[in-house]
Amino acid sequence: MPTPGVVSALHLIVRRFSDPGDKVLIQRPVYHPFGFAAENNDRELSVNSLRQVGKRYEMDFEDLANRVRDPKLKIALLCSPHNPVGRVWRQEELARFAEVCTDHDVLVVADEIHS
């Protein structure tokens, strides 16, 4: 379905694939409209913060695995490549993220804005 942009698409997806009171996962620091897509639609944020390792940010897969166990978590918004940390996720990172989420029926939504 065409949309006028990423931000409106995030809002539409959150409304379509979750209910008020459900949770939406984001990875901070992240482009602020990702959080607004949840908060402005009466969803709760679940924040899987990125870890800074030296000068590089990495996903915290242990924390992610704990968060996806919450039955209220319905959607994971993946910023790829990540804005603002500048990470282009490696194939193995994306595969692990997808596996952890799909094993718990969490919908992964990637913006892939620069694909």
State pLDDT tens for residues 67-107: 999 999 999 999 999 999 999 999 999 999 999 999 999 99
| pLDDT confidence of residue 113 | 73
Cβ-based burial of 47 (10 A; exposed 0-12, middle 13-18, buried ≥19): middle
pTM of the entire predicted model: 0.94
- CA dist 54 → 27, 57, 64, 82, 102 (Å): 18, 8, 21, 17, 30
Could you tell me which of 93, 38, 15 has the C-alpha nearest to residue 3? Answer: 15
Per-residue pLDDT at 1 exceeds 80: no
